[in-house]
Amino acid sequence: MRRTMLAAALALAAPGAAWAQPAGAPGPRVEPCMLPGVGAARCGSLEVWENRAARSGRKIAIRFAVLPATGTATGDPLVPIAGGPGQATIPMAGFVVQDLGALRDSRDILLVDARGTGGSSALRCVLYGPAPNDFLGDFFPADRVRRCAAEWRGRADLGQYTSDNAADDLDDVRAALGYERLNLYGTSYGTRGALVYMRRHPARVRSAILTGVVPTGARIPLRLAADAQRVVDGVIGECEREPACGAAFPGVRGDLRAVVERLARGPVVVTAADPVTGDPVTFPLTRDLFAEGLRYMTYSASTASYVPAVLHAAGRGDLAPAATQALFGRRVILSDANATGVYLSITCTEDVPFFDEAEGVRLARGSYLGASRVRSQKAACAEWPVRPVERAFLEPVRSDVPVLILTGQWDPATPPAQGHEALRTLPNGRHLVIPSAGHGFNGVSGYRECVPPLLVRFVRTADAKGLDAACVAAIHRPPFPLRPPPTRGEGR
């Protein structure tokens, strides 16, 4: 979602351009603001009860931004909902405009930072230190989770940062701004946010795009290891079917097994490039770090295409490329840009309580990733002072709203099976699987020309089943690179 669309689609209202809060709408004052990468917008915040059920005690401010329609607005804005959980939505504005800016000829774009993220009382936790070697322990270091919970004690009720409450906050913002209905655009965990909003406020949804579905019954991270194995097997299979890749990396499945077996006996000291500074870093590469780095490589087709080369090198004793990917996962992907406290509050109330560790270990058996993430997240939730939601939350969301679901074929986080599952109770929905794509759709040829225009047409028509999506079949992976990815400072 990072390449620029036509300049006309990116046009923004100039500062001071005509835009007004709908007549008679209650709520906050909305004032001009500037958003990085977008420009002029209208911003504000709305106070809500932290404990919505009690309607007493502490209040929190929900931050929002409106990108006004450049023409006459229909009154049904596009509303992106960010993933994570823990990502803020307002910083997504530039990416949304790049893909769906054409809709601004007749629609506002409303961005709301969910409670506990971004400008809405972000629940930040520092789980890793500043130095590279401080990033190399458990995925969720239990002692630092415990410390973070203690730091928030008295300042936030961590059990109130749930999908249900975030959906109701969004509806308060909708009402305050005078919008009748919304066109939801959820990505990753944001799809759960959209689904929950559809369940709690069905009359307020005109259409919904769900990219990488996280159903209410997903029970994160229960199936993570099995999904990761499916994706690596699929990417390797594509390499084997491509003559140049298959010839360059014969036996890469065996390379993966050999490396996992070697690291299972104990860590190997490696030197890799720090992805932030480019400096060499020497550290013990464990099986868990290696596996986690490999999984993150498969999040997009652009990095997944390097999987055969990285595994081939590792199978021949060169673990530096794999170690670099492991560092990248911890130093960049798991940076403190996300509100980790929200991730814990949501998964520790809506997911983790509904499976036991033994089930997670069983489902991870035979995978390269193993059960480390299940164990780590279970331990983290034991330190996070929240209570499970009612089991009824896990029931599938049922709605007649027109819904367009998109999933990457090789998505390790939200696999196509979850899109199929959600579709069963969305009779006006349609599921498109993007060939060779991962959790994000960058890195596959033909995506840019096909999918963003499809999304625009869907929002305009609110008709998923009648949408001409023939272009999806032409999307494909470019040729696999025949060497590992360059590290920082190397020539491409």
- Domain containing residue 213: CATH number: 3.40.50.1820
The pLDDT confidence band at residue 5, using thresholds 50, 70 and 90, is: very low
Kindly state whether residue 321 falls inside one of the protein's structural domains: no
User: Would you say residue 344 lies in a domain?
Assistant: no
What is the pLDDT at residue 21?
47
Q: Is the dihedral of CA 291, 297, 301, 307 positive or negative?
A: negative
Q: Given this model, what pLDDT does residue 352 score?
A: 98
374 lies in some domain: no
Strand 403-408 and strand 205-211: the pairing is: parallel
Residues linked to residue 285 through DSSP beta bridges, in sequence order:
268
Task: Give, in order, the Cα–Cα distances in Å from 221 to each of 383, 398, 485.
Answer: 17, 23, 28
Inside any domain, residue 310: no
Taking 80 as the threshold, does the pLDDT of residue 23 lie above it?
A: no
Name, in order, each residue with C-beta under 8 angstroms of 366's C-beta and a sequence gap of 6 or more: 229
Q: How far, in Å, CA of 175 to CA of 193, rounded?
A: 18
Tens digit of pLDDT for each residue in 434-488?
Answer: 999 999 898 999 999 999 999 999 999 999 999 999 999 999 999 999 999 876 4
Residue pair 351/224 in contact by the 8 Å Cβ criterion: no
Instruction: Map residue 64 onto helix, strand or coil.
Output: strand
Query: How far, in Å, CA of 121 to CA of 421, rounded?
Result: 33
- Cis preceding-peptide flag for 221 (omega within 30 of 0): yes
State mean pLDDT over 363-374.
96
Amino acid at 70: T
**Predicted TM-score of the model (pTM):** 0.92
Rounded-to-integer distance, Cα 229 and Cα 366, Å: 9
CB 411 within 8 A of CB 437: yes
Domains of the chain: total: 1
Residue 467 lies in a domain: yes
The answer to whether residue 375 is domain-embedded is no
CA pair distance 449, 447, nearest whole angstrom: 6
With 60 as the cut, is the pLDDT of residue 267 above it? yes
Q: Evaluate whether 179 touches 75 at the Cβ level (below 8 Å).
A: yes
Least confident piece of the model among 338-342, 379-383, 406-410 = 338-342
Give per-residue pLDDT as tens, 141-197.
999 999 999 999 999 999 999 999 999 999 999 999 999 999 999 999 999 999 999
Whether 197 is covered by a domain: the verdict is: yes
State the angle between helix axes of 93-100 and 447-461 in degrees (0 to 180), rounded to the nearest 10: 90
Residue type, 340: T
Buried b (16+ CB within 10 A) or exposed e, 13-48: beeeeebebeeeeebbebeeeebeebbbbbbbbbeb
Q: Is 421 strand, coil or helix?
A: helix
- Which structural domain, as residue segments, surrounds residue 453? 7-124+160-219+392-474
Query: Taking Cα atoms as reference points, which of 7, 189, 9 lies closest to residue 109?
Result: 9
* Exposure of 179 in the CB half-sphere (CA atoms within 13 A): 27
pLDDT above 70 (res 490): no
Q: In angstroms, rounded to a whole number, what is the distance separating the alpha carbons of residues 85 and 218?
A: 13
Residue 328 counted as domain residue: no
Q: How many residues does the chain have?
A: 492
